[in-house]
Amino acid sequence: MECEKEGCRAEAAVRLHIPWAGVETVCTAHGRALVQQDGVVAEPIEGAEWP
């Protein structure tokens, strides 16, 4: 599975539940940035490298 962010081809590592945007499946780098925002819940994908 790939990161959902446009232009990013990295392997998805985490499923983020974002109160204002819904669920996004992203790579480690994008996940680390987004999870610092208030209210975002990170659900690691099984077998992925997270955090």
Q: Which residues bind Zn ion (CB under 5 A)?
A: 3, 5, 8, 10, 27, 30
| Shortest distance in whole angstroms from residue 44 CB to Zn ion | 15
Whichever of 14 and 27 has its CB closer to Zn ion, that residue is 27
Whichever of 7 and 47 has its CB closer to Zn ion, that residue is 7
| Shortest distance in whole angstroms from residue 46 CB to Zn ion | 18
**Residues near 19 by Cβ (< 8 Å), separated by ≥ 6?**
39, 40
* Sequence letter at residue 21: A
